[in-house]
Amino acid sequence: MNPFYQQARFLISAAKPDGFPPDEGMEVAFAGRSNAGKSSAINVLCNQRALARTSKTPGRTQLINFFALDETRRLVDLPGYGYAKVPEAMRRAWRKLMEHYLGERACLKGLVVVMDIRHPLTDHDWTMLGWARERGLAVHVLLTKADKIRRGPAMETARQVARALGDAGIEATVQPFSALKREGVDDAHGILDQWLGVTAEPGARAASE
């Protein structure tokens, strides 16, 4: 476990841009369909049971949640999408909020798109990926719930998703992940470290492994 991410603390929730923390330092945002496993992934990456809330009733949070890692670095839990029962007005509000955040947030260094490995690349995922491409934002895809399928098909899905993104002109890295089995944590930390400029002290990193 990488001790840096264990420091994560809830900072603030915002329904509108005027509630965002100052656009300073560095952020990595997590996006994904409701119920894809986004909160579970954040919790496992931060080695905390209830940092980001997990839920069996999807589609309720329309807030952007900010978590502080240290004075200058943050993780951001974006509101889930794709939940069929969301009313049109809420959908519009979601779109406006996301377009604003992804389009304008200068401190945003990369976007983690969390997808259920059994249902990757939904229409809404492509919308998110399109926004990332427009901005030239780095993308990492976490294909989560990988414990639900066998290793061979999981690796094959990862290859297919990487190929589809490449074909669409989106530069992205892709990995299988399981919050349940805590698989893929080190790979995901490696990407976050790069984006956030985290250089673990050799001693600290060696001791944590």
Ligand X SMILES: Nc1nc2c(ncn2[C@@H]2O[C@H](COP(=O)(O)OP(=O)(O)O)[C@@H](O)[C@H]2O)c(=O)[nH]1
Stretch that binds Mg ion, among 31-39, 113-121, 132-140, 194-202 (CB under 5 A): 31-39
Residue 43 binds to Mg ion (criterion: CB under 5 A): no
Question: Partners of 67 in the beta sheet?
Answer: 10, 75
Instruction: Give residues with Cβ within 8 angstroms of 1, minimum separation 6.
Output: 47, 185, 208
Stretch that binds Mg ion, among 21-29, 38-46, 150-158, 192-200 (CB under 5 A): 38-46
Closest CB to Mg ion: residue number: 39
Q: What are phi and psi of 31, to 5 degrees?
A: -125, 160
Q: Which is nearer to Mg ion, 33 or 38 (CB)?
A: 38
Q: Which does 35 bind (CB under 5 to 8 A by kind): Mg ion, ligand X, none?
A: ligand X
**Residue 194 buriedness (CB in 10 A; 0-12 / 13-18 / 19+):** middle
Residue 39 binds to Mg ion (criterion: CB under 5 A): yes
Tell me the C-alpha distance between 80 and 178, whole Å: 18
Distance in Å, CB of 34 to Mg ion, minimum: 7
Q: Which residues bind Mg ion (CB under 5 A)?
A: 38-39
